[in-house]
Chains A and B, each alone.
Chain A
Amino acid sequence: MKTSRPVAASLAVAGYIVMIVPILFVVATAFTGGRSLRFPPEGFSLRWFEAAFAYSPFVSALVSSLELALLATLLALAIGVPVTLAIHRGRLPGKGIVEGLFLSPLIVPELVVGLALYQQLIIGLRLDNFPVLLIGHTVLMLPYAVRVTGASLALADPSVEEAARGLGASPIRAFFSVTLPLLRPGIFSAGLLSFVTSFNNVPLSLLLQSREFRTLPVTMLDYVQQSYDPMVAATSTIILAGTVVVAVIAERTVGFARIFGGINR
């Protein structure tokens, strides 16, 4: 880009350095042949990737994270999409309040939600960790399901559904053959957003974990606190690669900036 605005351009470059450079250093350190996070890396090797794949706490935590993110996403969509329909197509008293209520988990600090669920449901009601973790993640994903699918439903013309009903389709058939296809991009976007958010979550997973069920980010956080070797860099690089795949899928389907930035280009 032409830099006819030197001040703005320098600030922008500084911004990109802060956002991107630390990530590049993680990748560089992951391929070191040495035993420390020293820079520059000593030689090139894949030993830390091998170490990460052989370290069973990371592998089982990865499986747990994927499992939890998938379940929470499906649950949030199964519960959130009907809520969207109720808000946009149903006769609900106080629609604005109901919608605000479903977006409210976004405003309350996640640590506060985590503490509340830990104290009231795990300590108070003696529920198991996993169901509470699933409830917590699902509640946190509901705003995405309601808002993102709501945006595509608001664009869809209700008269199309009424036409289907007028032609004799049952409400359920009208939903599955007319409304659902219109919602598909919104549901897909909400799903991707929820999955990534749940997979990366730390505050809830940290407070609601059990010995048997820990997610990958929390396990990595603990590991970094105890030992300081490049295995976490290798694991981070694997997560980075997975995240790039998700971003590419998003770009090819609905448009990356639209899903994650809420920007219509």
Chain B
Amino acid sequence: MLSRRTGLLALPGLALLLVGFLIPSVAMLFAPPGVSPLDIFARLGSMLTDPYDLAIIGRTVGLGLIVTVVSIVLGFPIAYLLARSTSRWAGVLLALAIFPLLLSNVVRTFGWLVLLGSNGAVGQLLVGLGIVEKAPQLLYTELAIVLGLTQLFLPLAVISCYSAVAQVDPGLDDAARGLGAGRTRTFWGIVVPLSAPGMVVAATLVFAGSVTAYTTPYLLGGSSQRMLSTQLFSYSSVSIDWAAASATAIIMTVLVFAVSGLSAVVGRRGATS
């Protein structure tokens, strides 16, 4: 079967990839209809200096970092406990952590509208417990976006960390314990360093997902908490400003590529050291 003719089977796929992805993407980033590349670079320059645009970039990156940290802090313990558990419930709990990945983002984000809305359960609970007198504004805040994005990407963190922890030989834990290390020291000295590459993968996936997600910032952030994705949509569908849309797309793509590249470098260094 190893023949030149078999290699030709890739041609229809390559054609689709060129027409339906590569050519349009490059053309959009550098030469939208009626716009010169110079306009885009000028727009890019003004976005990187204008306080309003910088605030949006800052919010996107800042919330992305917070969501990444929260997802690792909550996701790694889940992965660790499940990978080390011998209970038959571990499989069920793992499935429960992966299942949300299959469920529509709109459905998952809608849950936060129900919980955080003006008559929602969280506000009522806070009032009922006497913590606040009047239900606070929870929707259309940065907190709402962080909660929504964490819900969205936590399963990815769990999966990546799980694969990593599962590859760490439990015998090493036992050896460390046998040599007198406590449970905490074993965790931080053995499990965490050995599964660090998985954590890097998890952090990359969560960050890239968070800075490009649209549904969640749109529903939970509203018009007061703009992010790059909601800006990109309004430039391309509401105000039809191709130069601004392309400039925003370039910023977003560079962010994602930079983080992926950085994680590849960190991962390689971790592998050789």
A residues apposed to B, CB below 8 Å = 1, 4-5, 7-9, 11-12, 14-16, 18-26, 29, 36-40, 79-80, 82-83, 85-87, 89-92, 98, 101-102, 104-105, 107-113, 115-121, 123-124, 135-136, 138-139, 142, 146, 158, 161-162, 165, 171, 174-175, 179, 196, 199-200, 202-203, 206-207, 217, 220-221, 224, 228, 232-233, 236, 239-240, 243-244, 246-247, 251, 256-257, 260-263, 265
Assembled-state Cα–Cα distance A203/B111 (Å): 20
Say yes or no: is B100 at the interface (Cβ < 8 Å to chain A).
yes
Which residue in chain A gives the minimum CB-CB distance to B70?
A: A18
- The answer to whether B253 and A23 have CB atoms under 8 Å apart is no
A109 in contact with B27 (CB, 8 Å): no
Q: Is B215 an interface residue (CB 8 A)?
A: yes
Known: A39-B121, A82-B10, A83-B10. A196 touches B253 (CB 8 A): no
Contacts of A232 in B (CB 8 A): 110
A15-B158, A36-B119, A105-B21 as given contacts; A1 in contact with B16, CB under 8 Å:
no
Contacting A at CB under 8 A, from B1-53, are: 1-10, 12-14, 16-17, 19-25, 27-29, 32-33
Contact B95 A257 (CB under 8 A): yes
Q: Is the CB of A217 within 8 A of B249?
A: no
Q: In the complex, what residue of chain A is closest to B99 when comparing beta carbons?
A: A247
Cβ contacts under 8 Å, A89 to chain B: 1-2, 6
Specify the chain A residue showing the minimal Cβ separation from B237: A207
Contact residues, B64-114 vs A (CB, 8 A): 73-75, 77-78, 80-81, 85, 87, 89-91, 93-108, 110-114
Q: Which of A8, A124, A220 contacts B80 (CB 8 A)?
A: A8
Q: How many residues of B contact A (CB 8 A)?
A: 97
B25 touches A112 (CB 8 A): yes
Indicate whether B115 reaches chain A with its CB closer than 8 angstroms: yes
Asked if residues B104 and A109 are in contact (CB atoms below 8 Å), the reply is no
Q: Which residue of A lies closest to B28 (CB)?
A: A116
Tell me the complex Cα distance, A90–B151, Å: 42
New contact pairs (15) apart from A101-B22, A108-B21, A206-B237, CB-CB < 8 Å: A1-B85, A22-B151, A26-B107, A39-B119, A83-B9, A90-B1, A90-B5, A120-B23, A138-B16, A139-B16, A203-B214, A203-B229, A236-B110, A261-B94, A265-B91
The one of B77, B115, B183 that contacts A4, using a Cβ cutoff of 8 Å = B183
Q: Chain A residues with Cβ under 8 A from B124's Cβ?
A: 39
Residues of B at the A interface (CB closer than 8 Å) are 1-10, 12-14, 16-17, 19-25, 27-29, 32-33, 73-75, 77-78, 80-81, 85, 87, 89-91, 93-108, 110-115, 117, 119-121, 124, 147, 150-151, 154-155, 158-159, 162-163, 166, 183, 187, 208, 212, 214-215, 218-219, 229, 232-233, 236-237, 242, 245, 249, 252-253, 256-257, 260
* Docked complex Cα distance between A83 and B91 (Å): 34
Task: A257 to B111: give the CA distance in the assembly, Å.
Answer: 24
> Which residues of the partner chain A approach B208 to less than 8 Å between Cβ atoms?
107
A203 cross-chain contacts in B, Cβ below 8 A: 214, 229
Q: Which single member of A112, A121, A158 contacts B2 (CB below 8 Å)?
A: A158
Asked if A87 and B106 sit within 8 Å, CB to CB, the answer is: no
A153 and B97 CA atoms in complex are apart in Å by 28
Are the C-beta atoms of A25 and B7 separated by less than 8 Å? no
Task: Determine whether the beta carbon of B12 is less than 8 Å from that of A82.
Answer: yes
Q: How far is the CA of A1 from the CA of B93 in the complex (A)?
A: 11
Instruction: Choose one: A79, A115, A162, A202; the contact of B236 (CB below 8 Å).
Output: A115
Are A12 and B232 in contact, with the CB atoms below 8 A?
no
- CB A148 to nearest CB in B, in angstroms, measures 15
CA distance A263 to B164 in the complex (A): 10
Write out the residue numbers on chain A whose beta carbons fall within 8 Å of the beta carbon of B100. 19-20, 23
